[in-house]
Amino acid sequence: MNVKRLLSARIEAALKDCGVEAPALVKTASRPEYGHYQADGVMAAAKTVQANPRQLAAEVINRLNADDMAQAVEVAGPGFLNIRLRDQFLAGKLNLEAPLIGKADRPQTVVVDYSCPNLAKEMHVGHLRSTIIGDAVARILEALGHQVIRQNHVGDWGTQFGMLLAHFDDGGADSDTLSDLEAYYRAAKVRFDTEPDFQAASRAMVVALQAGEAGARARWRRFIQISLDHCQTLYERLDASLGPHDVMAESAYNDALPGVIEALDRQGLLTESDGARCVFLPEFRRKDGSITPLIAQKSDGAFLYATTDLAAIRHRAEALGADRALYFTDSRQAFHFKQVFAVARQAGFAGAALSLEHMPFGAMLGKDGRPFKTREGGVIKLTALLDEAEARAARLVREKNPQLDADEQAQVARAVGIGAVKYADLSKNRTSDYLFDWEQMLAFEGNTAPYLLYAYARIQSLFRRGDIDPETLGGKARPGADAERDLAFVLARLQEVVEQVAEDGYPHSLCAYLYDLATKFTRFYEQCPILTAEGAERANRLRFAQQTARTLHAGLGLLGINTVPRM
């Protein structure tokens, strides 16, 4: 159990002994000089039983059974508790032989819906954010022992494929022409807008495709496969843990769509409006009194994006047996998901056992604060973006460490470049818009990938200089000096932070944690020399270094970022 939860449980038991059932509300202390944690719950608890909060707090301390954990528990201010942990207890959390991350008590099945590009178009920066953030959360859930089912809900169906396939057909397009999907799409669109014959052919293609005509289907499959292959190349470059088997495309739900309509109809949820079949839920009433409906089927019989999402929820609930379904898309889809989730609940597609959670993120903006586009206003190609990241990182690496041989330089440049792009995204609060800034993300100071990767590499270099094989270091690191105690407390909190991210899907708290760790390590390193120390002291400090390296490596790994042994 993570330290915070353990402490909460103890305080809640003491509160109960005092006759109050209330949450302890434990958090890390806002002022570290007063302790490690504080518990604010006593004050609210006192209110419910009309007790004096400071008196109740004193009573809770009397009854608290936390001697094994806490060295001191004190009443402070209007009635909160300040808790300082014991060195002995901290040391117990710093065992080099124990796994860093413990498994969840109750493992869940969690669907993580992320990346999900539209295969008709070039994958854009919005999908980059979804891929990076969703992937980190998927890895974190997995590390905690949850069963994660990745679902890459790619857009592979819809009328826009008509013109693309028509162009594909008579243009004789192959994988190479499609590598610039953006240009391909534009060319098809121009023809669609200017050539009446082509327009007719495009429409005929849609009809053939929907009717399941073999030739049209084959062409469509080929197109989709090429587009998917491009995505896969990008996933590999990005070290995203997504593979072909995670693709569950929109078209996979086609056969289930009539069943969705039937089920909605059976529940009496369908209303016809201008020939379209809609669901009107009172909770989506606008200011003028009218209701924004969810359109399930258009008057021409076509199904919509929302209909597919309803089918997907059914699948996730019934076939996949999910306890949670998480959706990583930009915040402009917030209303879509709110509505789809509400209708899915009403229709009984998602029972109370399934938690549906949209995890929105903000837009990616250029340094000028405007949407991130090329100078010409086009989509930024992700491949080009990653090329630039590696090129910039390569320059940095050469400056910083010219001795590295060419192979290693390339390897480090890749880790730093790709790591920087990912980390910059992950380290910002995901719901805010995010400014893409090369200088910031590649800086060696501050909360950046280079800073953390360097902190890790520095520890490895320390081991090399001391001729120490860190794998042979065993046992527990015991805090003695203040800088060790501060470092120990950060190290002991990994589990708590990781569990938090698994719950709320905000990886920036793990980034802030790793940054804090690297900073505390630097202070420790300045105040507690390692290689020049002797005997037991040296061994103990080496353990701190190794536990820090392990934690940085694991923490970055959970974010999908690879460390390098030197840089």
Q: Please, what is the minimum distance in Å from the beta carbon of residue 138 to ligand ARG? A: 14
Q: Quick one: which of 73, 96, 101, 116 contacts ligand ARG (CB under 6 A)?
A: 116
**What's the one-letter identity of residue 439?**
E
Q: Which of 12, 59, 113, 390 binds ligand ARG (CB under 6 A)?
A: 113
Contact between 327 and ligand ARG per CB under 6 A: yes
CB 294 within 8 A of CB 344: no
d(CA 415, CA 110): 29
Do 74 and 100 contact (CB within 8 A), yes or no? no
Q: What's the closest the beta carbon of residue 325 comes to ligand ARG, in angstroms?
A: 9
Sole residue written with tokens 């990583």: 328
Q: Is 230 in the site for ligand ARG (CB under 6 A)?
A: no
Among 115-123, 239-247, 294-302, 489-497, the segment contacting ligand ARG (CB under 6 A): 115-123
Give the nearer residue to ligand ARG in terms of CB position, either 15 or 296.
296
**What are the beta bridge partners of residue 356?**
325
**Residues 257, 277: Cα–Cα separation, whole Å:** 13
Nearer to ligand ARG, 113 or 496 (CB): 113
Q: Measuring CA to CA, which residue among 560, 392, 540, 561 is closest to residue 473?
A: 540
Nearer to ligand ARG, 327 or 544 (CB): 327
By CB under 6 A, tell whether 137 contacts ligand ARG: no
**How far is Cα 432 from Cα 205, in angstroms, rounded to an integer?**
41
Residue 341 in contact with ligand ARG, rule: CB under 6 A: no
Size of the site for ligand ARG (CB under 6 A): 10
Phi and psi torsions of 454, nearest 5°: -70, -40
Nearest alpha-carbon partner for 61 in 87, 80, 89, 35: 80
158 binds ligand ARG (CB under 6 A): no
Residues 467-526 that bind ligand ARG (CB under 6 A): none
Could you tell me the smallest distance in angstroms from the CB atom of residue 350 to ligand ARG?
13
Among 38, 131, 251, 329, contact with ligand ARG (rule: CB under 6 A): 329
Total residue length of the chain: 567
Match 């909460």 to its residue by tokens: 8
CB of 220 to ligand ARG, least distance (A): 17
Residue in 489, 516, 474 with CA at minimum distance from that of residue 87: 489
Q: Provide, rounded to whole angstroms, the least separation between the CB of residue 250 and ligand ARG.
A: 7
- What is the C-alpha separation between 327 and 357, in angstroms, rounded? 6
Residues 453 and 564 sit within 8 Å (Cβ to Cβ): yes
Instruction: Between 153 and 381, name the residue whose CB sits nearer to ligand ARG.
Output: 153
- How many whole angstroms separate alpha carbon 234 and alpha carbon 365? 21
CB 488 within 8 A of CB 477: yes
Q: CB of 81: closest distance to ligand ARG in angstroms?
A: 44
**Is residue 156 a contact point for ligand ARG (CB under 6 A)?**
no
Region near ligand ARG per CB under 6 A, out of 16-24, 111-119, 202-210, 389-397? 111-119
Nearer to ligand ARG, 19 or 378 (CB): 378
For ligand ARG, give the closer residue by CB, 253 or 451: 253
Using CB under 6 A, which residues numbered 22 to 41 contact ligand ARG? none
In whole angstroms, give the CA distance from residue 565 to residue 567. 7
Nearer to ligand ARG, 329 or 460 (CB): 329
Nearest-angstrom CA–CA distance, 113 and 62: 48
Stretch of 57-65, 73-81, 109-117, 373-381 lying at the interface with ligand ARG (CB under 6 A): 109-117
Among residues 155, 158, 417, 560, the one that binds ligand ARG under rule CB under 6 A: 155
Inter-CA distances, 240 with 243, 287, 331, 386, Å: 8, 43, 22, 13
Rounded Cα distance, 347 and 343, in Å: 6
Instruction: State the sign of the Cα–Cα–Cα–Cα dihedral 250, 253, 254, 259.
Output: negative
Q: How far is the CB of 363 from ligand ARG (least distance, A)?
A: 13
Query: Minimal CA–CA distance to 165: which of 212, 135, 198?
Result: 198
Q: Which is nearer to ligand ARG, 198 or 327 (CB)?
A: 327
Residue with the CB atom nearest ligand ARG in the bound state: 116
Q: What is d(CA 222, CA 396) in angstroms, rounded to the nearest whole number? A: 41
The only residue of 69, 312, 420, 483 in contact with ligand ARG, by rule CB under 6 A: 312
> Per rule CB under 6 A, is residue 153 in the interface with ligand ARG?
yes
Q: Is 118 in the site for ligand ARG (CB under 6 A)?
A: yes
Q: Which of 12, 135, 246, 309 binds ligand ARG (CB under 6 A)?
A: 309
Closest by Cα among 557, 526, 328 to 449:
557
Site string for ligand ARG, 60-99 (x = CB under 6 A): ----------------------------------------
Tell me which H or E stretch contains 76.
Answer: strand 70-76
Query: Does 152 sit near ligand ARG (CB under 6 A)?
Result: no
Q: Which residues bind ligand ARG (CB under 6 A)?
A: 113, 116-118, 153, 155, 309, 312, 327, 329
